[in-house]
Chains A and B, each alone.
Chain A
Amino acid sequence: MALIQINNVTIRGISAAVPKQSQEVKGLPFFSDEEADKFIAGTGVERRRLVEEGVTTSDLCFKAAERLLAEMNWQRDEVDCLIFVSQTPDYILPATSCMLQERLKLKEGIVAFDISMGCSGWVYGLFTMSNLLSGGQLKKGLLLVGDTISKTCSTEDKSTYPLFGDAGTATALEFDTHSNGLKFHLAVDGSGAKAIIIPDGGYRNQYNTNSIQKVTDEEGISRTASDLILDGMNVFSFGISKAPESVNLLSSHFGIDLETIDYFLFHQANKFMNEKIRKKLKIPAEKVPYTLKDYGNTSSATIPFTLTKELGEIASEGTLNYIACGFGVGLSWGSVWFSTDRLICPAIIEV
């Protein structure tokens, strides 16, 4: 079982950027007012931030990274590694991290690569980056995580379009021999790959004339094979069993008393699912922040975004212990225990 402790690494700062443009769920053409109210009551999503055409995930992550570097007073040539985690890269190739190296004016002698992960992406990115840094040969790293997942949704699909929003984040990590370390549980179940999928446009099903044919699956769900498909029931069934299990495995393996955790950061899937997970773990509501109402499900960005948005002030003042848990597309999931001390958390940037 993948239960791993990584020492000598500390999270120093987190920042996030969202688009200015907000769109209300109420008033979307596929919902009657009553249906919109039901959707809001179930998912907790009232509005989302959506990028304009031409703006990519890397644009949002770039802004977040620029702000974070400035606030932390890191010199550009001090950054030794850069990881970009996303399901919405700029191109199929090259890797977006390569272009971010140039845009952020980072040195040539840097380790930079992409990781293709969504809902669990921040946890996997944190795991990879911590491993790179814990030996002490690489000292400082930037983990850029985000998605413009609204671009993958058919605007005529009521099961995806009203749920998702766009956001980009930057997390700064550093080699630190005084660190409390990070503790991980990671898992995967590829049998659920089709529960969240964009079927066409990769190399299994290359783009063809059928890829842009709109098909109506049921009322309110019209989409093409190059749009995101979300099997809500399977994802729900997966999430309410695997997310609590992961947190429990982490806590029992490492002897973490859940009472000692100040905040639990769950991937912001939807309110209904997240509340089931919270109640199963018997965690009090005040320890579980949400950003669903105004920002929706921002895919890989949800955990760092929710941390800066909801806890930024308190995290910047003192020491906090967290457990974060990401779960979804893959199907892939993971939990991490970490702590921060006077975290650098600039205010959310609007692009």
Chain B
Amino acid sequence: MEKFVKHFAEQFDETDASEFTIETRFREFEEWSSLTALSIIAMVDEVYNVKLTGDDIRKSSSLLDVYNIVKSKM
């Protein structure tokens, strides 16, 4: 789970990694954009070999939500 937070945080260029926990509501960062969403999808594909859909991202608000989806698809 710690690794997931680290990988997740790496997809943000302007937001410091220290601001991320598993509870973080990532949409609230000013930096969040459709491109960050694509980076998350790419990261999950690369690291976990899991295919996230647009809906998976849209219905998630915290890192934990995404984490649980990834886990359920592994």
Main secondary structure of the interface of A (DSSP, over half): helix
B51: CB under 8 A from chain A?
A: yes
> Which of A38, A42, A233, A272 makes the CB contact (< 8 A) with B53?
A233
> Which of A195, A231, A237 makes the CB contact (< 8 A) with B52?
A237
Instruction: State A42–B42 Cα separation when bound (angstroms).
Output: 13
B24: CB under 8 A from chain A?
A: no
| A236 near B41: Cβ-Cβ < 8 Å | yes
Main secondary structure of the interface of B (DSSP, over half): helix
* B23 CB, nearest partner CB in chain A, Å: 23
Known contacts A240-B45, A241-B45; is-contact A233 B35 (Cβ 8 Å) = no
| A237 near B53: Cβ-Cβ < 8 Å | yes
* B51 CB, nearest partner CB in chain A, Å: 5
Chain A residue numbers with a CB within 8 Å of B33 are 38
Number of A interface residues in the complex (CB < 8 A): 16
* A276 CB, nearest partner CB in chain B, Å: 5
B69: CB under 8 A from chain A?
A: no
A94: CB under 8 A from chain B?
A: no
A248: CB under 8 A from chain B?
A: no
* A96 CB, nearest partner CB in chain B, Å: 33
| A233 near B38: Cβ-Cβ < 8 Å | yes
| B42 near A233: Cβ-Cβ < 8 Å | no
Q: List 20 A-B contacts (CB under 8 A).
A: A38-B33, A38-B35, A42-B35, A195-B54, A231-B54, A232-B38, A232-B54, A233-B34, A233-B38, A233-B54, A234-B53, A234-B54, A234-B55, A236-B41, A236-B42, A237-B41, A237-B54, A272-B35, A276-B42, A280-B46
